[in-house]
Amino acid sequence: MKKPDRILELRRREMVEALGRYGIVNRRVLDAFQDVQRHLFFAEGSRETAYDDSAYPIGFGQTISQPYTVAYMTTLLVERSPAGKVLEVGTGSGYQAAILDALGYSVITVERIYELYERAKKLFLRLGLDIVVHFGDGTLGWKEDAPFDGIIVTAGAPSEPGSLLRQLANNGCMVIPIGDFVSQQMTVFRKTGEELQREVFQHFSFVPLVGKEGWEGS
């Protein structure tokens, strides 16, 4: 292995150790973060920043979320829906989808920005990841592949999209940040029969969820 690769491997290990100190203790989640090479989802010229605990712009007004944010959302999902088929709304760089794939989920992801959709599709193919990527309005979900055991939304919504809730399987859960343009609370919805349970967690700051049932349609 080349020296730069060893350095990045060390940085990835340090990132995982930091996640543990921040309170991410689920072993499955930490192992997935160790397995997935986050720097591969960055442009070559910025890979030295890949393991910093910060968000990073990926173009088109979008970001790759900081590792802690991704780990926090992923932990909420894993603890409630540990296996099955998952829909990710907002492919972005593809990193969150790769984490879900490393956890053993069957992953379907939807991206509304065509250039990011194309970029992620090519990257997944190059990395040999069996992730299905769709181009479209993720706020509407993806009815053809529903129902989903889990849904994870990687942008801030004004409220929970009804289409996504309807595409949840029984006992499935959706993790979504809900709030205004500045701050959102991480929220989990769980469907049990005809009942819908809601849990609210800490605040984060995401780019807006744009779409018919997101900010654009509100």
> Does residue 65 have an active-site annotation?
yes
Query: What does the DSSP assignment read for 141-175?
Result: --GGG--EEEEEE-SBBSS--HHHHHTEEEEEEEE
Residues of the chain with pLDDT under 50: 1-3, 218
pLDDT of residue 3: 45
Whole-number pLDDT of residue 1 = 34
Hey, where are the domains in the chain?
A: 52-204
CATH tag for 52-204 (out of 3.40.1390.10, 2.120.10.10, 3.40.190.10, 3.40.50.150) = 3.40.50.150
Question: Annotated catalytic residue: which of 46, 54, 65, 93?
Answer: 65
The reported pLDDT for the residue numbered 68 is 97
Radius of gyration, alpha carbons of the chain: 16
